[in-house]
Amino acid sequence: MAGLVPPGTTAIPAEASKTAHTKAEEKTDYMNLPCPIPFEELQREALMSLKPETFEGLRFDFTKGLNQKFSLSHSVFMGPTEIPSQSAETIKIPTAHYEFGANFIDPNLMLIGRVLTDGRVNARVKWDLTDNLSLTNEPHMSHGMVNFDYKGKDYRSQFQMGNGALFGASYIQSVTPHLSLAGEVFWAGQHRKSGLGYAARYETDKMVAAGQVASTGMVALSYVQKVSEKVSLASDFMYNYMTKDVTASVGYDYILRQCRLRGKIDSNGCTTAYLEERLNMGLNFILSAEIDHSKKDYKFGFGLTVG
């Protein structure tokens, strides 16, 4: 008799009780959403696979740390440089340059400077004024850009100012634990152009999808599938509804024990591969290749990175 259910009551199966408890735990807390990534990094996972830093020729990079915060870098590059041409074929001229750099990295302040033998000078300053507000100054060549970034609990905002009467602002907001919505606006006074854009990003542990639409005519979509902790597959779609240009590409990112291999192929027939091999602690060997049969443009490069 002890196993009988009293009249007027209904027994709740253990599985149903467990499911209801799980759904209660998964209920979204809209007052405690995660902070989204910066607006300019909406498609960073896809860019890592589909746009590796390919080069042509020889590259050697050496970085020497003087202390925990200050380091010096030396870079040597020897390879061809493309020049504008009216013909379909790519015209290249041999070039070589040396680059000297100084870096100061602190938890609240970052200073980076570069000087090249061809006369170019690049600099970047990033200063975290508070835990939420940061200031970035990026002068390079004859241009300058200042960024103000504010990081909220579940949103980020950015304001940009540059020479040539360039102004821009962006805002990104988390609306669910996985979905973020964003918008941007800019004004280029020197060229009398303005633009407005919208973006969305959806992210889980296994995939990342992002999309951007701008009044300038650009439509960009990307999708990354995380097959495992070491393998990711990526694809993107670029369309300009003013010029009617369309490009699609697929790529991969494979991390092995001693190396990392990335590559892609796009709808124009351009194939790219980029290999980073760790030979020893602080010593990496790099192989880069890009083949474009339609333009008869073939790029191959190798390099070493020390430090």
Question: What local confidence, expressed as pLDDT, does residue 15 receive?
Answer: 53
Question: What local confidence, expressed as pLDDT, does residue 25 receive?
Answer: 47
Report the residue count for the chain: 307
Is 80 exceeded by the pLDDT of residue 90?
no
Select the CATH number that applies to the domain covering 40-306 from these four: 3.40.50.150, 2.40.160.10, 3.20.20.80, 1.10.2020.10. 2.40.160.10
Question: What local confidence, expressed as pLDDT, does residue 20 receive?
Answer: 47
Question: What local confidence, expressed as pLDDT, does residue 82 receive?
Answer: 82
Q: If pLDDT is split at 50, 70 and 90, which confidence band does 79 have?
A: very high
Q: If pLDDT is split at 50, 70 and 90, which confidence band does 294 have?
A: confident
pLDDT digit string (tens) for 8-56? Answer: 445 555 555 445 444 444 677 778 899 999 999 999 999 998 998 899 9
Is 50 exceeded by the pLDDT of residue 167?
yes
Question: What local confidence, expressed as pLDDT, does residue 145 receive?
Answer: 83
Is 90 exceeded by the pLDDT of residue 166?
no
Question: What local confidence, expressed as pLDDT, does residue 84 receive?
Answer: 75
% of the chain surpassing 70 pLDDT:
90
Q: If pLDDT is split at 50, 70 and 90, which confidence band does 1 have?
A: very low
Is 70 exceeded by the pLDDT of residue 222?
yes
Is 60 exceeded by the pLDDT of residue 91?
yes
Is 50 exceeded by the pLDDT of residue 221?
yes
Q: pTM higher than 0.85 for the full model?
A: no
The secondary element (H helix, E strand) that includes residue 18 is helix 14-25
Q: Which two tokens stand for residue 59?
A: 């590259």
Place of tokens 């905002």: 157
The full set of domain ranges for the chain reads: 40-306
pLDDT digit string (tens) for 225-275? Answer: 999 999 999 999 999 999 999 999 999 999 998 999 999 999 999 999 999
Q: Where are the beta strands (DSSP E) in the chain?
A: 57-65, 70-83, 91-105, 109-116, 121-128, 133-137, 145-151, 155-162, 166-174, 179-188, 193-203, 207-214, 218-226, 231-240, 245-255, 259-266, 270-280, 283-292, 297-306
